Amino acid sequence: MGRLGWKPSRIGAETWETLDRAGDQRWLRGRAGNLAREALQQAILFPATRVVARPTVRGADDLHSTPQPAIIAANHSSDLDTPLILDALPRSWRTRTLVGAAEDRFYRRSAIAAATELWVGTFAFDRGAEGRGLAQAATLLRDGTNVLLYPQGTRSVGLGGFRAGVARLAVACDVPVVPVHVGGTALLMPKDRGLTQRGRCSVAFGAPLHPDRAEEPRDFAARLSAAIASLAVT
């Protein structure tokens, strides 16, 4: 994998200094933490998600022939997206995957950070200094861990607003990107609202994309965006 050369950038003075500002809870990534996470997901998180979203999954079996580590890149419109994707992944993938979670939302307090990592399996992604978040993801990829990232950067309406960060990461680390489309979740749990209804959702995995040797990140980002859009159920 190539060297990224990104350096952490200062965010500036803000209310974070008066809070806990929890970092990654790496102690939850050991054997005991992984076993506890698997038990909680299989017994509670995934069954509850299926009851609410009744997902249809396409393309997950094809991941068995896709090399790891890889970037899993999906559109993002709801907090339901992550458990749906994780549940749909083959176990051989899910146990090697960490989810980039917004540091400013999920890592402001140690208790919230620990709960998020225990139930989901996350790492802190700094959205205020994207280079630092991508560098953290690159470290995980170098260690053989898959990363689930949302190129839109936040929960969004529709399929617009894809940023080039994930593409930059793929080009720099020379790893495949698995495009994923999640449909229907915004109707069930819209941004900044709780669960509003039950319904049917879809999770579709596409063929892995590999950045061409001379491909610019913005061009690869456009190709990734188109691949995710092509997976939408019509």
Contact status, residue 43 vs residue 35, Cβ threshold 8 Å: no
CATH code for residues 22-230: 3.40.1130.10
Q: Give the start-to-end residue ranges of the domains of the chain.
A: 22-230
DSSP 19-46: S------GGGGSHHHHHHHHHHIIIIIH
Contact status, residue 50 vs residue 84, Cβ threshold 8 Å: no
Residue 138 has pLDDT above 70, yes or no: yes
Higher pLDDT, 4 or 218: 218
Q: What is the pLDDT of residue 19?
A: 39
Share of the chain above pLDDT 70, in %: 85
Q: What is the pLDDT of residue 25?
A: 67
pLDDT, tens digit, for every residue of 90-114? 999 999 999 999 888 888 888 888 9
d(CA 172, CA 204): 26
Contact status, residue 202 vs residue 233, Cβ threshold 8 Å: yes
d(CA 1, CA 52): 40
* Spacing of C-alpha 25 from chain mean position: 17
pLDDT, tens digit, for every residue of 4-18? 443 333 333 333 333
Contact status, residue 167 vs residue 157, Cβ threshold 8 Å: no
Q: What is the pLDDT of residue 190?
A: 81
pLDDT, tens digit, for every residue of 170-199? 999 999 999 999 999 988 988 877 888 899
Contact status, residue 213 vs residue 147, Cβ threshold 8 Å: no
